[in-house]
Structure 1
């Protein structure tokens, strides 16, 4: 008489399933690399104390470290099309030569994000998350030549009153960029670290080189600000762009990003990734793959029964994850409208 082994816990079992035999989760290499990279670039948040940036009296300059993720697309300069690499998942590029980053999207994509972010602004009555605050800014940037190593002085003024904004005259010094390629998503992203150093406002007799109008909606959440901006530039020729950025903001007044340890790269990257995931085209790509897998299951079953008839839409039932306009995951039955795999 054979002895059967005890059945292991199935999907419906209440037995807990441990993540690993070591009792810890594997290291997220993307977050670890971004955190270490930013720590090195900013010298642990102390870069403003380095001799390179000290003022004449030896004190640090009046400046801020800016860390942000811009959403856009990596373009192969040889083909002038979006980059295509033989990889299957999100990847940090070690070499960005021959690649340019375009931080632009269509007006329809911009509108989609505007609607989605607006839906998150009503207060959360359950108390499970802080309230997201939003504010519109209409500003104009004027760019002047600077005697400081060829960098530009950016003067930001209120669009209507033309009064200079608080801390509105700065020199933006780029420290480093990190390009992240996302083949499964509609966009890639670039993480940038910059210094915004306060500069004297140019004299009224100075002539600016060019200007940039910004119509911006800012959505602020603890530690994070998401900016949706419509930008109009008059140089080299009049143009309009639609931009989406995720920027770190100090958790408290006078705080620094370095105080947050691993929390800040997780917050920056996870919020950027979720914006991708909630984008309509990414949802359709995921649902399309699920639809193809489900269709193959049906084809296999029909083949086993000897029925070689055509598999149509009514033959396939797909249960896929969907995201509604409020960003809530919901189960939806049936194929998403417009998916060719189920036609």
Structure 2
């Protein structure tokens, strides 16, 4: 008679020892995390000499087919990194006001009820970005960021875009994009701004990451109607720490923890982006 035991030992499954991670006793490398880490590490290595203001961020949004305008549809079942320049699509980070409110509630609840040992800090920022033509007429515009109330200059930079990765999430309401940029400080420009944008930003800081939920109001001229967007992103908080860990990645002359610190940082970064995507509901524009 079958006694219900599948291993013939007579013990119930609850009394069995835990399973090994694998026949080698180790967990196989997560290829997704490694691909993202390799990409970011490579992009960091391509930055202009002396440029240390590295910005690594993941924006939540929707990948759309450029022809139909519909959300991208690929023959995959789970979250997938798209090979750059292989699919004719665009990324849109705008969400509806209802979705914006959903994430605001979610993040506020995390701040007040989080069970993690690290505190989540919060700041409500009101900023104004003014954009000016590049000094040499080439490259990205110069951005001057000021505090809306005091007018104090927070930053004056020219952004250099190094690269991006699109992640398609067929089981979720949203996709995401990882971008690596460098922000180079430049002298404050003289003249008239080409356009401005106001940012009403709720910023949540947790350990090495900043989650920004922002309402962006852009104005392109006195006669044009302002454009209002709602965006969500997670960003690495300390560029200097990112560069420090990147420099020691795989270095045999440092400790194992130092060699692996970069990949662990990127693992947590990816996990934070995934948490946001998996908590997204309907309401993407």
TM-score category by the smaller chain?
A: 0.7 to 0.9
Q: Partners of 1:10 and 1:240 in 2: how far apart? A: 60
- 1:154 aligned partner: 143
Uncovered stretches (5+) of structure 2, i.e. residues with no partner: 246-260
Task: Work out whether 1:197 is the aligned partner of 2:199.
Answer: no
Which residue of 203, 209, 215 corresponds with 1:230? 215
- 1:271 aligned partner: 272
- 2:90 aligned partner: 100
Aligned residues: 259
Uncovered stretches (5+) of structure 1, i.e. residues with no partner: 55-59, 282-343
Q: Partners of 2:213 and 2:168 in 1: how far apart? A: 21
Q: Partners of 2:64 and 2:243 in 1: how far apart? A: 30
- 1:221 aligned partner: 206
Q: Partners of 2:39 and 2:208 in 1: how far apart? A: 19
Which residue of 86, 99, 103 corresponds with 1:109? 99
Is contact 1:123-1:131 (8 Å) kept? no
- 2:250 aligned partner: none
State the Cα distance separating 1:123 from its structure 2 match. 7.0
State the Cα distance separating 1:258 from its structure 2 match. 4.7
Q: Partners of 2:276 and 2:82 in 1: how far apart? A: 21
Is contact 1:257-1:264 (8 Å) kept? no
Task: Work out whether 1:255 is the aligned partner of 2:238.
Answer: no
- 1:119 aligned partner: 109
State the Cα distance separating 1:255 from its structure 2 match. 2.7
Is contact 1:212-1:233 (8 Å) kept? yes
- 1:320 aligned partner: none
> Could you say what secondary structure the match of 1:231 adopts?
strand
Q: Partners of 2:42 and 2:227 in 1: how far apart? A: 36
- 1:133 aligned partner: 121
> Could you say what secondary structure the match of 2:36 adopts?
helix
Q: 1:156 to 1:105 in 2, by over 3 A?
A: same
Task: Work out whether 1:80 is the aligned partner of 2:82.
Answer: no
Q: Partners of 2:183 and 2:44 in 1: how far apart? A: 13
Q: 1:112 to 1:170 in 2, by over 3 A?
A: same
Q: Partners of 2:37 and 2:11 in 1: how far apart? A: 38
Q: Partners of 1:36 and 1:207 in 2: how far apart? A: 41
Q: Partners of 1:258 and 1:189 in 2: how far apart? A: 26
Q: Partners of 1:237 and 1:193 in 2: how far apart? A: 31
> Could you say what secondary structure the match of 1:194 adopts?
strand
Q: Partners of 1:180 and 1:193 in 2: how far apart? A: 14
Is contact 2:144-2:188 (8 Å) kept? yes
Residues 71-129 of structure 1: CA deviation (Å, up to 9, x unaligned): 000010111111011110010111444210001111111111111111121376x7x51
Is contact 1:154-1:171 (8 Å) kept? yes
> Could you say what secondary structure the match of 1:274 adopts?
helix
Q: Partners of 1:195 and 1:40 in 2: how far apart? A: 13
> Could you say what secondary structure the match of 1:122 adopts?
helix
Which structure would you say has the larger Rg? 1
